[in-house]
Amino acid sequence: MIGSSGDVDRPFYIRSSAKPFQATVSQEAGADLTPLEMAVACASHRGFPVHIAVVSSMLGVAGLDESALQCPPSWPLASEASRLVVRQGGSEPRRVWHNCSGKHAGFLRACVAAGWPTGSYLSPDHPLQRRVVALVSEMGEYQVEPVGVDGCGAPVLRTTVRAMALMFAKLATERRLEHARAAMHRYPAMIAANGEGDTEIAIALDGVAKGGAAGCVGVGLRDRLGLAVKSWDGLGAVANVGAVAALDQIGALTTTALTALESTLRPPVFGGGRLVGHLESRLMLDLT
């Protein structure tokens, strides 16, 4: 371990930060995802037309449509995207708009390729989900079971900051995870959207980042290191502040990168409709 702060061995659910590893399992099972499709399978997309077009295409290649998705109906995560679909006549939430629909489409592609049932693809006992548990446990050197149920309905995996950092170190360095790493770095705006913390970190650095609900984010710098942050108050912005502050403290940020990440490191705080301050990091890593 390069450095740590806080309780790095307290268990929590990794949420969507697991997606690069879940997508890797789909790919290994035969999903045959292109780099763009792989990026969307790794994504918590914001529901812009480009995201939805890729998810729909992913399903179509497997002879499926939106009805095969088992993530719940949702409006796009980005308010701009939601307003766009309303202007275009959308009146009810749809499964394809859910921010996890790319992951689910990757799962379904894998099931069709492997001859596994598609109707039960979210069951913890499904062959695909058993492979996910095995891979994530191996990458973090930590037993992720018992699993819970994520917001999208998929099994959600237990981890710790220590184990998650190791997972992202392997994402940054191991050949087995190269497809996910390369796709995420090539298409960072597909992972979330421009302006989002994990997307901005990937744009600024030679690496990848993936946030998860309830305030966690993992970062992998290519051929160098992995980093994980968990905000115990559950705020994603706080986790992103911690990630950028940690990268700065270990000397991973150039002046140019630090400037590019200023709004992620010091996000604005508004009150009464006006700017009243910024979040400021108080992180102090214990470097060893």
β-sheet bridge partners, residue 228: 218
Query: Could you tell me the domains of the chain?
Result: 3-287 (3.40.710)
Mean pLDDT of the chain: 97
| CB contact at 8 A, 249 and 3 | yes
Ordered alpha helix ranges (H), 27-88: 35-41, 49-61, 79-87
Task: Please state, for a pLDDT cut of 90, what percent of the chain lies above it.
Answer: 98
The conformation of residue 29, written as its DSSP 8-state character, comes to: I
Q: How many helices (H) and strands (E) in the chain?
A: 13, 11
Chain centre distance of CA 228: 12
The predicted model gives 229-245 an average pLDDT of: 97
Sign of CA pseudo-dihedral 216, 211, 136, 105: positive
* Model confidence, pTM: 0.96
Q: What is the pLDDT of residue 287?
A: 87
Q: Tokens 């966690």 sit at which residue?
A: 216
pLDDT above 70 for 212: yes
DSSP 73: P
d(CA 166, CA 188): 21
Residue indicated by tokens 């994520």: 150
Q: How far apart are CA 90 and CA 82, in angstroms?
A: 9
Per-residue pLDDT, 75: 97
Q: Which tens digits make up the pLDDT trace of 27-60?
A: 999 999 999 999 999 999 999 999 999 999 999 9
Q: For residue 277, what is the enclosing H or E element?
A: strand 274-278
What are the phi and psi torsion angles at 270 (to 5°)? -110, 145
- Angle 192-249-276 (CA atoms, 0-180°, nearest 5)? 60
Q: Which residues contact 79 (CB under 8 A, 6 or more apart)?
A: none
The alpha carbon torsion through 190, 67, 152, 213 (nearest 10 deg) reads 20
**Across residues 116-135, what is the average pLDDT?**
98
For residue 146, whether the previous peptide bond is cis, meaning omega lies within 30 degrees of 0, is: yes
The larger pLDDT score, comparing residue 153 to residue 91, is at 153
Residue 78, CA distances (Å) to 45, 48, 82, 246 in order: 9, 8, 6, 27
φ/ψ region of 13 (left if φ > 0, alpha if ψ in -120 to 50, else beta) reads beta
**Which residues on neighbouring strands pair with residue 4, listed in sequence order?**
286
* 103 pLDDT higher than 80: yes
- So what's the pLDDT on residue 80? 95
Helix axes 19-26, 101-114, angle to 10 degrees: 20
How many CA atoms within 13 Å lie on the side-chain side of 152?
33
Looking at residue 1, what is its pLDDT?
A: 63
How many angstroms separate the CA atoms of 264 and 268, rounded?
9
Residue 288: per-residue pLDDT: 77
In the predicted structure, residue 285 carries a pLDDT above the cut 80: yes
Alpha helices in the chain (DSSP H): 19-26, 35-41, 49-61, 79-87, 101-114, 127-140, 161-173, 178-186, 188-191, 197-204, 236-249, 255-260, 262-265
> Which SS3 state, helix, strand or coil, does residue 242 take?
helix
Check pLDDT > 70 for residue 120: yes
